[in-house]
């Protein structure tokens, strides 16, 4: 006869067996899971190491390509701008070493750099738009007519263009004294600094940095792009060049490329921080002399790395 004690012992044995099964099963599962996770971790570590190696290799190749570009750049542009004159304009965010490198390459091309103008951040700050308009109007030399557009970039370009550019170098409608007085007034207003004795050039290069950020970034980029457009109209052509990120919507190059009225006239380069980009600037100036505009660099909205040249 089966006693109550037997039932209790049997039930206890069943539960004990279940508990042991759960423990053993979970231990086995945990071991397999840990083994799988460990294998995946090792695989990911291998992938990370591989990608790090590829990145280091690409950086080495890029540095070598840039050194090569710096070495052959002067030969690539030699004679392209013989007996031409260029005024070099840079914004507050343009790197000084890039400005100096562009200037050196312009001279290697045979061009004469007739002066440098450096725009301050106040020049493009939308908070200063009304003040810039007033200063431009007050400083307007006799014989110079401002464009009808009211935006500060166009108006400022309408003043600086005749001061710094003329299709026939040396034949400016603005006297030397009037030019010096206008540049001094713009400097006193905190909008720019011009090198002493700036003379009119036939062509203009406007150097900027990358994508702008912060308050009014889009307005600042638009001011620079429209300013470059007025310079193009005052002389024989203009190239707007920026570094990495400048072709985005918050960069001056990006704004210029997105506006057909600008992109049809002004050439742009989006990688002036590379040796190839600086060569593109010079070749684009040569292209501007034929009244052609192109857009060069490495961004998706560029036509190619450099202009196609003849000869």
Per residue in 162-193, pLDDT (tens digit) is: 999 987 655 677 889 999 999 999 999 999 99
- Is 247 within 8 Å of 253 (Cβ atoms)? yes
70/43: higher pLDDT: 43
Rg, C-alpha atoms of the chain: 32
- Single residue among 28, 43, 77 that ends a domain in this structure: 77
> The dihedral of CA 187, 191, 195, 200: what is its sign?
negative
Residues 60 and 140 in one domain: no
Tally the domains of the chain: 2
List Cα–Cα distances, 126 to 18, 87, 90, 154, 222, in angstroms.
Answer: 76, 25, 18, 13, 10
List Cα–Cα distances, 277 to 48, 116, 243, 252, in angstroms.
Answer: 32, 20, 9, 16
- Tens digits of per-residue pLDDT, 52-80? 766 665 566 556 555 655 666 788 899 99
Would you state the pLDDT for residue 24?
Answer: 47
Mean pLDDT of the chain: 86
- Single residue among 50, 77, 104 that ends a domain in this structure: 77
50/92: higher pLDDT: 92
Would you state the pLDDT for residue 98?
Answer: 95
CA atoms of 249 and 182, how far apart (whole Å): 32
Q: Is the residue at 54 inside a domain?
A: yes
Q: Is the residue at 14 inside a domain?
A: yes
**In 3D, which of 187, 272, 270, 201 has the Cα closest to residue 234?**
201
- Single residue among 56, 77, 98 that ends a domain in this structure: 77
CA atoms of 217 and 194, how far apart (whole Å): 24
Residues 240 and 216 in one domain: yes
Residues 187 and 59 in one domain: no
Would you state the pLDDT for residue 249?
Answer: 86
Domain that holds residue 12: 1-77
H helix or E strand, kind and range, residue 87? strand 85-90
Q: Is the residue at 302 inside a domain?
A: no
76/159: higher pLDDT: 159
Instruction: Provide mean pLDDT across the span 25-44.
Output: 66
Would you state the pLDDT for residue 67?
Answer: 67
Instruction: Provide mean pLDDT across the span 111-129.
Output: 97
Residues 192 and 109 in one domain: yes
H helix or E strand, kind and range, residue 239? strand 238-241
Angle 161-87-145 (CA atoms, 0-180°, nearest 5)? 10
CA atoms of 70 and 274, how far apart (whole Å): 9
DSSP state of 141: P
């Amino acid at each position: 006869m089966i006693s109550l004690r037997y039932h209790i012992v049997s039930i206890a044995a069943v539960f004990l067996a279940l508990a042991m099964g759960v423990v053993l099963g979970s231990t086995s599962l945990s071991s397999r899971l840990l083994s799988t996770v460990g294998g995946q971790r090792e695989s990911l570590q291998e992938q990370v190491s591989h990608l790090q190696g590829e990145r280091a290799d690409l950086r080495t190749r890029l540095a070598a390509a840039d050194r090569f570009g710096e070495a052959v750049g002067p030969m690539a542009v030699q004679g392209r701008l013989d007996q031409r004159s260029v005024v070099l304009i840079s914004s507050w965010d343009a790197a000084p070493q890039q400005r100096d490198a562009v200037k050196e390459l312009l001279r290697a091309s045979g061009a004469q750099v007739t002066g440098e103008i450096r725009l301050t951040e106040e020049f493009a700050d939308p908070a200063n738009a009304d003040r810039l308009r007033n200063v431009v109007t007050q400083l307007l030399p006799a014989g110079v007519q401002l464009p009808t557009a009211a935006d500060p970039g166009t108006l400022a370009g309408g003043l600086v263009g005749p001061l710094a550019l003329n299709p026939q170098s040396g034949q400016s409608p603005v006297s030397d004294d009037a030019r010096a007085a206008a540049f001094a007034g713009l400097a006193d207003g905190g909008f720019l600094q011009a090198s002493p004795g700036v003379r009119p050039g036939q062509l203009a290069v406007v150097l900027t940095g990358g994508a702008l950020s912060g308050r009014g970034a889009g307005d600042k980029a638009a001011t620079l792009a429209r300013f470059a457009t007025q310079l193009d109209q005052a002389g024989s052509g203009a190239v707007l060049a920026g570094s990495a990120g400048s072709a985005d919507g918050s960069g001056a190059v990006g704004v210029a490329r997105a506006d057909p009225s600008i992109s049809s006239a002004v050439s742009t380069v989006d990688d002036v921080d590379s040796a190839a980009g600086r060569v593109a600037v010079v070749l684009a100036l040569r292209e501007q002399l034929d009244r052609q505009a192109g857009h060069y660099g490495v961004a998706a909205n560029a036509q190619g790395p450099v202009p196609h040249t003849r000869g």
